[in-house]
Structure 1
Amino acid sequence: MKQIAIVICNYNYERFLAEAIDSALAQDYPGTRVIVIDDGSTDGSRAIIGQYGSRVKAVFKENGGQVSAYNLGVEIADTEYVIFLDSDDVLYPGAVSEVMRKFEEGDLAKVQFRLDVIDEAGKQTGAHVPHTEPPVDCGRLLRDGWLYPSPPASGNAYSVRALKAVFPVPEGGINRYGADFYAIYGAALVGPVATLTLSLGAYRVHHTATPSVSFANSEQIKKAPKAFKERWVTLREIAKERLDLELPPAFHDFAHEKAYFGSSLYHASLSARWRWMLHDSRAYLHTIVANPFWGLKKKAGTLFLSCLCLLPYSPLSDFVVRYITNPLARRSTAGQ
């Protein structure tokens, strides 16, 4: 039987950690191992990990950031496959079995699956990620500069062989965080990606009570686009040096461009909204019109909604920006 490791990278998430570990231990696939890497937590995380004894492999390290934890996880994983589970997320009991059945179908670098979105208390929000299913040959589109639709870190299972072709990744600076960027897109440069169109886990989004344009947990909406650009530069270097692949200087990604869209238009004046649309929206519109993962209906709908931001009624504009940028805003509005 092929083996898979669930690697939980934790830093100061004691209030969620036990739930994540329990979900990993509850998997019904017999060849599942659980590794918990604590990245220098200063809360009660290490005591929680200690309570599991030999049921998990515990690794305690000095704080170095998420990339350093991933580097170590890839290094010590002695299984064929691995899932990096964020310590505030959970896997459903049959997740690994579903993933392993998919891996048996071919020589895949990654199997990704949908994640239900939960709030900080663990309550289902009714949303899920991702919303679009990518083609199997994500690598071809990635080599053309298109970042393919992917769930966050916990919704991906990897061939360890594929990850070892990309990792270790340089640590420090912008690379203290964002390790899943290199895993998600690096793996697609090594081999095919398969998608399971069912929810096999839950992704916890913090601070969901107030309507916002921000959806990601790890970085503020104004910082994330810059971080993505810097990580793309690093991924290009890794691809060239280790895989002998030449990636384009710039990438295209709607999720990236809508961060600019949201931070530029939310609560902006009418003149500022028109100015952005006339002078700064080229990349944003390109990721809609030329998007290889979307159908005509979704492209037309997104363009129509984006144009509503140009109407002289700021409450409508702010609603549309939230609707486009944050899936939770759509659900909360529908429930009112």
Structure 2
Amino acid sequence: MNHVTVAICNYNYERYLVEAIDSALAQDYPGTEVLVIDDGSTDGSRAVIEQYGTRISSIFKPNGGQVSAYNHAIGVLETDYVIFLDSDDILYPSAVSEVMRLFVDGNWAKVQFRLDVMDSDSVLTGTHVPHSEPPHDCGKLLLGGWLYPSPPASGNAYRVSALRRFFPIPEEGINRYGADFYAIYGAALTGPIATVPKSLGGYRVHNAHGETVSFANSEQINKAPKIFNLRWAILRDIARNRLQIELPPVFYDFSHERATFCSSVYRATLPTRWRWMTRNSHTYLHTIIANPFWGVKKKLGTLVLSSLCLVPYSPLSDFVVRYISNPLARRRAVGR
């Protein structure tokens, strides 16, 4: 039997850590191993981890950021497959079994699956990520600069040999975080991607209750575009030097452009909103109109919603921005 590691990277998430570890231990796939990498937590995480004893493996390292935790984990993994589970997310019991059915039938570099979005209290919101399913050959799209639709970190299972082709990743400065960016898109440069067309876990969105904007759980939405550009530049260097693959200097991704859109027009004056939409929205609109993963209906709907930001009634404009950027703005009363 092929063995799989659920690697849980944790930093100061004592509140959610038990849910994450328990969900990994509850997998119905017999060859599942659980590894927790604690990145120098200062809360009660260590005591939580130690209470599991030999049921899990654990590594306690000085704080270095998420990239450092991924680098360390990939260096010590002894299984052929891994799921990197964020310590505030969960896996459903059949997650490992479902991805392994695909891995054993094909030479996939990565198998991804949807995640149900939940709030900070573990209440399901009625939405999931991602909303689009990519083709198997995502590498070709990356060569054209298109970032393919992928779930966040916890919704991806990797062949470890694929990850080791481009990890370790530089850990310095602003690049301490975002390790899943390199794993998600780097994997597609090493082989085909498979998708399980259903939700196999839960993704927690923090500090967002439908009345705020949210981008990738970042509290500083205005920094997201700059960080993405830096990560793309680093990925290009790694692809060139380690994989002998040349990626274009610019990339296209609706999530990235959405962050720019939201930070530019949210709670802005009407002249500011009009100025941005008429002068600076070219790339944002391009990632909608030319999006290779969306159908016509979704493109038209997103264009109509975006145009509502130009109305003089600011409460409507701000609601539209929240609706586009924040899954919890679209929440339904699920599980209440």
Q: How high is the TM-score relative to the length of structure 1?
A: 0.97
Q: Which amino acid is the alignment partner of residue 324 of structure 1?
A: I
Q: Which residue of 2 aligns with 1:27?
A: 27
Q: Which amino acid is the alignment partner of residue 155 of structure 1?
A: G
Indicate the percent of aligned positions where both proteins have the same amino acid: 70
Give the match's secondary structure for 2:284: helix
Distance 2:243 2:219 in 1: 29
Distance 1:324 1:118 in 2: 17
Q: Deviations over 1:69-98 (max 9, x none)?
A: 000111111111000000111101111000
Q: Which residue of 2 aligns with 1:147?
A: 147
Q: Which amino acid is the alignment partner of residue 275 of structure 1?
A: R
Distance 1:248 1:215 in 2: 24
Give the match's secondary structure for 1:190: coil
Q: Which amino acid is the alignment partner of residue 158 of structure 1?
A: Y
Q: Which amino acid is the alignment partner of residue 52 of structure 1?
A: Y
Deviation at 1:208, TM superposition (A): 2.5
Preserved contact between residue 208 and residue 326 of structure 2 (Cα < 8 Å): no
Is residue 293 from structure 1 mapped to residue 293 from structure 2 by the alignment? Answer: yes
Distance 2:314 2:48 in 1: 48
Give the match's secondary structure for 1:33: strand
Distance 1:71 1:301 in 2: 40
Q: Deviations over 1:87-123 (max 9, x none)?
A: 1111011110001001122100000001011111111
Distance 2:218 2:324 in 1: 20
Preserved contact between residue 205 and residue 215 of structure 1 (Cα < 8 Å): no
Q: Which amino acid is the alignment partner of residue 268 of structure 1?
A: A
Distance 1:210 1:251 in 2: 29
Distance 2:134 2:115 in 1: 15
Distance 1:123 1:202 in 2: 10
Distance 1:206 1:325 in 2: 13
Deviation at 1:327, TM superposition (A): 2.1
Is residue 241 from structure 1 mapped to residue 241 from structure 2 by the alignment? Answer: yes
Give the match's secondary structure for 2:196: strand
Deviation at 1:265, TM superposition (A): 0.8
Q: Which residue of 1 aligns with 2:307?
A: 307
Q: Which amino acid is the alignment partner of residue 85 of structure 1?
A: L
Distance 1:103 1:232 in 2: 28
Deviation at 1:319, TM superposition (A): 1.5
Is residue 179 from structure 1 mapped to residue 179 from structure 2 by the alignment? Answer: yes
Q: Which amino acid is the alignment partner of residue 59 of structure 2?
A: V
Preserved contact between residue 24 and residue 90 of structure 1 (Cα < 8 Å): yes
Distance 1:60 1:127 in 2: 35
Is residue 60 from structure 1 mapped to residue 50 from structure 2 by the alignment? Answer: no
User: What is the number of equivalent residue pairs in this alignment?
Assistant: 334
Preserved contact between residue 125 and residue 333 of structure 2 (Cα < 8 Å): no
Give the match's secondary structure for 1:102: helix
Give the match's secondary structure for 2:331: helix
Distance 1:58 1:298 in 2: 44
Distance 2:259 2:208 in 1: 17
Q: Which residue of 2 aligns with 1:2?
A: 2
Deviation at 1:268, TM superposition (A): 1.2
Shift >4 Å, 4+ stretches = none
Deviation at 1:221, TM superposition (A): 1.0
Q: Which residue of 1 aligns with 2:91?
A: 91
Distance 2:51 2:263 in 1: 44
Is residue 76 from structure 1 mapped to residue 76 from structure 2 by the alignment? Answer: yes
Deviation at 1:214, TM superposition (A): 1.2
Which residues of 2 match residues 1-336 of structure 1 at below 5 A?
1-209=1-209, 211-218=211-218, 220-331=220-331
Give the match's secondary structure for 2:38: strand
Q: Which amino acid is the alignment partner of residue 14 of structure 1?
A: E
Distance 1:219 1:74 in 2: 28
Distance 2:332 2:261 in 1: 21
Deviation at 1:174, TM superposition (A): 1.5
Relative to 1, partners in 2 of residues 1:332 and 1:126: Cα closer, same or farther, differing over 3 Å? closer
CA RMSD of aligned residues (A): 1.3
Distance 1:277 1:205 in 2: 28
Deviation at 1:306, TM superposition (A): 1.3
Structure 1 window deviating more from structure 2 (161-170 vs 296-305): it is 296-305
Preserved contact between residue 7 and residue 34 of structure 1 (Cα < 8 Å): yes
Structure 1 window deviating more from structure 2 (201-210 vs 93-102): it is 201-210
Preserved contact between residue 288 and residue 302 of structure 1 (Cα < 8 Å): yes
Q: Which amino acid is the alignment partner of residue 296 of structure 2?
A: L
Deviation at 1:236, TM superposition (A): 0.2
Distance 2:134 2:125 in 1: 24
Structure 1 window deviating more from structure 2 (50-59 vs 310-319): it is 310-319
Deviation at 1:207, TM superposition (A): 1.6
Relative to 1, partners in 2 of residues 1:91 and 1:146: Cα closer, same or farther, differing over 3 Å? same
Give the match's secondary structure for 1:214: coil
Deviation at 1:258, TM superposition (A): 0.7
Distance 1:65 1:38 in 2: 10
Unaligned runs of 5+ in 2: none
